[in-house]
Amino acid sequence: MGETQTFEHITVLLHETVDALNVQADGVYVDGTFGRGGHSRLLLSRLGERGRLIVFDKDPQAIEVAENWAKNDRRISVIHNGFATFQAALNDLGVGKIDGALFDLGISSPQIDDASRGFSFRFDAPLDMRMDTTRGQSAAQWLAQADEQEIHEVIKNYGEERFSRQIARAIVAQRGESPIDTTRQLAQIAAQCVRTRERGQDPATRTFQAIRIYINRELDEIEQTLPQVTARLKTGGRLAVIAFHSLEDRIVKQFIRTHSTHAPLPKWAAVRDSDLPQPPLLAIGKAIKPSHAEIERNPRARSAVLRVAERTGGDFQAA
């Protein structure tokens, strides 16, 4: 077996995120996106012996790191699965209410920088893009069988790519001649179809983002998980979510807004605010973005947005 290559991961909004959780020493917390454990390490440093941390990740390499930690720290429980399995996983562990949960959405630096994972057009590698390489359909497998309309819709909706139809048409034409199974092939197709590009952005950027989001069901997972977490938070428990692009952040922002405000009442309704039922969430502060100093240290942090909400005593019914 060859030597395992390691890739650096700089945790984004590290202290801001863990500070936002208002960590209680004997509390129960969830890191829904363990990665290489940056947020978890700081969170554990604030937990006492009776505290507990449950970590999720799809990536087998991340899980290997987490399981090594767990061998030496009985406070840690490791779940090799996506965070959409939140409720079922907590049930299996016998965990009821929790004191807080954090999610660092999207793709990690080690996944981008490992050419073999197929996430980046910077390398020529097998076109995989799965966060969990042990299960599911790879990007190459999906592109080999999806019809043109489906490919167009994925690239348009998840990549917000203006030239999605042209790219989809070119993919179908190319696969009729030979399989599209490397990152370079897909990047070249996108480059031929994207007639104008944003400054500093490769023409394949939006296509790669879209297919990655689709293959990993990233937006679906966020939508499924936020209600599960809210239902499990204790009163005063915190939810902290870092998003890296507008589609993720929109879901988080709308969820917090919806569940931290009352439905609008007709003007004629003689009801005082104090008489209305309490919303289940309270938005904590404004969205937090990385400082200029952090962006200088880690340019990949530039698009990060952290949103925080606190569970109130108001009723919440998960759909």
Q: Which residues are annotated as a binding site for S-adenosyl-L-methionine?
A: 37-39, 57, 83, 104, 111
79: left (phi over 0), alpha (psi -120 to 50) or beta: beta
Angle 297-298-300 from CA coordinates, rounded to 5° = 160
Q: Which positions ≥6 away from 236 have C-beta within 8 Å? A: 22, 99, 310, 311
10 Å CB burial of residue 128 (0-12, 13-18, 19+) is buried
Q: Cβ distance 33 to 58 under 8 Å?
A: no
- DSSP element (H, E) containing 71: helix 60-72
Residue type, 32: G
Task: Determine the Cα–Cα distance for residues 175 and 203; give it in Å rounded to an integer.
Answer: 20
| Binding site per annotation, positions | 37-39, 57, 83, 104, 111
Helix, strand, coil abundance in the chain, percent, nearest 5: 45, 15, 40
Residue of 51, 38, 29 whose CA lies nearest to 238: 29
Is residue 180 within 8 A of residue 143, CB to CB? The reply is yes
On whether the CB atoms of residues 208 and 185 are closer than 8 A, the answer is no
